[in-house]
Each structure stands twice: as structure tokens, then as C-alpha cells.
Chains A and B, each alone.
Chain A
Amino acid sequence: MAPESQAQIKRIAEDFGKDNIIVILGASDIEGAEIAAETLTTGDPSFAGPLAGVSLGLPVYHILEPEVKAGIPEEIYEHEVGLASMILDTEEIGRKFKVIRANKRS
């Protein structure tokens, strides 16, 4: 994740309190999404950005998860995200992110 984004998110988490924020990702590959999720929960795994060694512990979701889709008006979701949801394995993304969130809590 870009250092500028890490810096902004770190500042926002400090201002609003990390218990009051959720994160939604839109990465196209599951590996990239997992790295972004790790950065925002346990810290930057590359130790290159402002979140190196910083455990924000934010709950991270992916826009393509079925439970996220269920919370968004259908017409808008299909218009904005429909194409990506046809290309990527949304069920697998849902399973992986449930594991990521469960690990964050443990």
C-alpha cells in the first residue's frame, strides 16, 4: 500500500478511534488484498511505510464479499461493481476475508 495512503489512514484512525472505522478494499487479486488487509490490521509487512510496526486492528472487508454486496442497494452495486464481480471469485474472497477478520480478533 502506498506510503501516502498509510499515513492518511494512520492519522484518521488516531482522530476517529480505530474502534469506529471499517475499511473496504477493491483489490483485483486476492494476494494483493491480503497484503493490504495485513497492513491495516497488524502493520505494513514490508516495513517500508508509516504503518510498519503499527497494529491498527481495523476490520477489513472486500467490496466483492457477498455480505458487503448484501448491504448495498442492488442497482448501484451492479452499476459500479458488476463487471468485477463477474470476473473474480467472490465466494473465495468472502471466505478469505472472514479468516482475516477472525485472525485479527484472536
Chain B
Amino acid sequence: MFKGKNVIIVGERDGVPGPSITKCLQAAGANILYTTTECFV
């Protein structure tokens, strides 16, 4: 599903943070273009 796909990651501090999603998508073969972790406090 993600192999070779360009991916933008918008994580959330109180949900799933960007770096955790990045590890998952890298393992799935995606090309990570941008990662951020939003904080709504």
C-alpha cells in the first residue's frame, strides 16, 4: 500500500506522534517528505 509512495505525516503529541508514524511508514517502504507533531494544548 505504501511502497514508494510520497507521504506527509502529521502526528499529535497526545495521539500518535510524528516519529512513531514515520517509523511505521519507513518500514512499509514509503518515501517520507515531511513529519510534524502537532500539540493542541
- Residues on A lying within 8 angstroms of B by beta carbon are 1-2, 4-5, 8-9, 12, 16, 20-29, 32, 36, 40, 58, 63-64, 67-68, 70-73, 76-77, 80-81, 84, 88
Contact = CB atoms under 8 A, between A and B. Distances in A.
B14 A25 contact: no
Interface string B15-31: 11110110111011000
Interface residues of B, number: 28
Interface in B1-39: 1-2, 5-12, 14-18, 20-21, 23-25, 27-28, 33-34, 36-38
Contacts of B25: 24, 72
B14 A8 contact: no
B6 A1 contact: no
B27 A2 contact: no
A26 B21 contact: yes
Given A32-B40, A84-B15, A63 B6 contact: no
